[in-house]
């Protein structure tokens, strides 16, 4: 492959682990995103945030109960996705990494997702799954960005590629009757990830992953968005309805528009 040594080492790390964690490519973009969330929280809860933004995110459980969480989260998601420039800023967090792992002609998910997991909340769990099991393309990656430091049960886990391949070959025997039984069959092999504020996680969503009850004292806030090569195969989530091209090159534009001369 005609890539640089640094690019090959970066790619090899992703292939071996199933993920990479790096400092965000644009810290100013992350700070801008954080401010938009804080403004939405202030407006929604009619409160004044004290201290820095991370304190507000970490301690939101003091202002929002478990029963109120889903409605609150949906309003924040709607507000942030309506914010002009949000998706572009999000892309800037990982652009240079995506161009190595995925390519320079990218399609981006139309809406960015938000996870808020309060301490001790069992209603916000994401059971073990691989996105490809429900129709996503195997050519997608997920860009996962926390607004707080995420560690231990405040973070997420992923099943590394070797263990995931073994699970695929033994899936019928190990899947059990529900997601809990499946998780119990892999829990000794999963890797719990630590992703700090100011870092970005890019992972292979074809690998089993999920979370558990947040047993830490602070609330988890994390965003996620899928990216893929424009010209790679799509699953159930199609271009135009779920994805949008964001970095088409001139030759691709002219190629898609080209028509042979009429000769009849």
CATH number of the domain enclosing 170: 2.60.120.620
Domain span at residue 155 reads 5-230
pTM comes to 0.95
Which of 101, 108, 99, 97 lies closest to 227 in space, CA to CA?
Answer: 108
User: Is residue 242 assigned to a domain?
Assistant: no
Task: Report the 10 Å Cβ neighbour count for 185.
Answer: 17
User: Is residue 238 assigned to a domain?
Assistant: no
User: Is residue 236 assigned to a domain?
Assistant: no
Strands 220-229 and 191-192 turn out to be unpaired
**Position 157 pLDDT exceeds 70:** yes
Q: What is the DSSP letter of 110?
A: S
Model pLDDT, residue 176: 76
Question: Residue range 75-87: average pLDDT?
Answer: 97
Model pLDDT, residue 15: 98
**Position 206 pLDDT exceeds 80:** yes
User: Is residue 114 assigned to a domain?
Assistant: yes
User: Is residue 91 assigned to a domain?
Assistant: yes
**Position 72 pLDDT exceeds 80:** yes
Copy the structure tokens of residue 232: 């790679």
Per the DSSP assignment, residues forming a β-bridge with 87 are none
Question: Residue range 213-227: average pLDDT?
Answer: 97
User: Is residue 263 assigned to a domain?
Assistant: no
pLDDT band for 48, please (50, 70, 90 cuts).
confident
Alpha-helical regions (H) of the chain: 5-17, 27-45, 53-58, 66-81, 86-92, 95-101, 161-169, 171-175, 179-186, 250-257
**Position 108 pLDDT exceeds 70:** yes
Task: Decide if 144 contacts 232 (C-beta within 8 A).
Answer: no
Model pLDDT, residue 50: 64
User: Is residue 216 assigned to a domain?
Assistant: yes
Question: Residue range 152-164: average pLDDT?
Answer: 97
User: Is residue 255 assigned to a domain?
Assistant: no
Spatial separation of the C-alpha atoms in residues 177 and 227, rounded to whole Å: 32
| Domain total in the chain | 1
Nearest 10 degrees: CA dihedral of 112, 113, 116, 121?
180
Copy the structure tokens of residue 44: 């929604």
């Amino acid at each position: 492959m005609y890539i640089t040594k640094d690019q090959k080492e970066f790619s090899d790390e992703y292939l071996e682990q199933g993920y990479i964690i790096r400092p965000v490519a644009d810290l100013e973009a992350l700070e801008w995103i954080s401010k938009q969330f804080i403004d939405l929280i202030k407006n929604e809860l009619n409160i004044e945030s004290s201290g820095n933004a991370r304190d507000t995110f970490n301690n939101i459980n003091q202002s929002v109960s478990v029963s109120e969480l889903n409605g609150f989260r949906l309003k924040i998601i709607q507000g942030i996705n309506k914010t002009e420039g949000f998706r572009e800023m999000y892309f800037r967090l990982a652009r240079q990494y995506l161009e190595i792992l995925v390519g320079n002609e990218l399609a981006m998910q139309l809406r960015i997702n938000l996870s808020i997991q309060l301490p001790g909340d069992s209603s916000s769990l994401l059971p073990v799954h691989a996105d490809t099991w429900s129709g996503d393309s195997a050519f997608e990656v997920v860009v996962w960005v926390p607004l707080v430091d995420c560690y231990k049960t405040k973070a997420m886990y992923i099943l590394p590629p070797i263990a995931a391949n073994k699970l695929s070959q033994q899936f019928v025997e190990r899947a059990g009757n529900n997601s809990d039984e499946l998780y119990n069959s892999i829990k000794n092999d999963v890797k719990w990830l630590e992703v700090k504020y100011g870092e970005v996680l890019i992972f292979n969503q074809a690998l089993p992953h999920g979370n558990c009850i947040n047993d830490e004292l602070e609330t988890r806030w994390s965003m996620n968005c899928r990216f893929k090569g424009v010209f790679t195969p799509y699953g159930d989530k199609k271009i135009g309805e779920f994805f949008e091209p964001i970095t088409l090159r001139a030759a691709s534009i002219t190629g898609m528009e080209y028509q042979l001369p009429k000769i009849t």
